[in-house]
Structure 1
């Protein structure tokens, strides 16, 4: 029987030597998401709690992000348990909590949320005077359990920004530093843990999105730039043909992905995703592409500095999540279905043992 209680750990290997990409994979590709029409999706998460013992509690993230690039609309659910809509944290993170008594046979819950998304891209030439309230600035600068902002994190950030003076210059250098030093490690379970202090102390900067984008966020916060992760899931194929930047709408249980944002006074909240640059470099072709100047990588490297594609939905921006009624500790982030019974917490990174399925359907006007 698979071990569904396997606790999550970041497994990363040191980068090896790479060969140049095959010519067949080095063709020019486009990746230039621009703001445009809204797309509407129904996102459904179905949990059939497997092998539970005793009373069981399930928590599902409910989309709760509302911005100029996402609208979180209505949600509905069906279950043979007792369900409650709850929130956690200052951001109002949406959570559906479902309790199942031991007597419930074949416990299940199905949550469907309607969302609207669209592409986003900052116009670097268009300046404005965006404001961030003092309390909000302090909040998006504070350290978290997995994202400290002192010690080796701040030391690394200061070296990376060098003599940069403006926040925009600092962000550019931090983005480049993360892209050139961190790398996608396919053997990392799930999306990783996001323990950036350990990453920097060990010198092992391999991981997935929760590691690489958390590293970017922590470095930015440590030098006084408000930054945050946005945790969600890919919903549909990429319009630009990149398979690694796509979601299979019929089965999204491995499509969780977090992104990042930084606040710049001249532009407001700006999209960033160095983790997806690393993903395309490592997994888009059979050959690990080493340079961002490669014609397959260059458009992504450029486009994900200030933009991202709207085939993705953000659930929340929360760190150190306290699940209501949980007998265990806080989560570093909430991006996956979570469940506990008397044995402990289920392994969210093993959806077929848990078990759960996530799907999406685009609603055409």
Structure 2
């Protein structure tokens, strides 16, 4: 796909694009329900003081949500899992497990309904995040030259994702908590951002891979370098759509806090009919509104422009002056010395004869910390390659 004459999106241009997609307002009842649940939690705390864990939950529920949209998405996913952990039938108070009274049975029915809705929403969110990650990666790869470089980057991503999953599995098998797992998942998400920025910065061996060999448009490198900047174009998304998400984050935190406290104190004080109704209403409106939000955001983001014309941006497009072609006469040697800044990287060269009769790829993995890598190629009937 050509990027000639294009530049990365600007904040102003993206803001005009989002003007076409106003987010339907979150119902006022969301904030009111979060406040009501926190008030109920305070009443429970007055009867029985918070434990250190509960104190932490209360501080988080009363705090300010993270600014980044994807960090809030992970926080909501974590809270849904924590709530489902509380709602697991085997962990409910004995009176609820046995449905000792009609009142207990009614509460169990309500909790089961909440559990079903949250399970469905959690599954939708997981699919949303997977789809969103694939969309970003595939968009970048669309503009990459369709040769070995794209293949190597895809292989690197697959290997990286396998390693990340192995890290998560290790946390689970060692008895790590839900919070431990999500702390790791968020760290891994930040690592993905760093890797993307490194590709855009094109430093070290990666620079040799994607730029020295020619064909990767500068506009793509500019885009992926700035996409995650705190004050970059994506900040417009946070300003435009963040407040609604923050409101939903506050609600799910309030739901978890109240449910934790009410179940932990069920032997001392059963949940009143009005209180369980508030909880059920909160879960219903949360799952409905969060589902609407993810659907809306998914449609807006997938259609959002990444590149625009220089004229639209009000700037001159940058030309890729990294092109370097070397013709090696028969019997001559061509030597290039490259700086190596990272292990587990690749250096790749694509050779072809003028007649086009032969094309050979040399790809070398760097698994040590050597600071210099030298390629020597002599052309004279055959291609000879070596690494020193």
TM-score normalized with structure 1 length: 0.23
Q: Normalising by structure 2, what TM-score?
A: 0.22
More strand per residue: 1 or 2? Answer: 1
Structure 1 or 2: larger helix share? 2
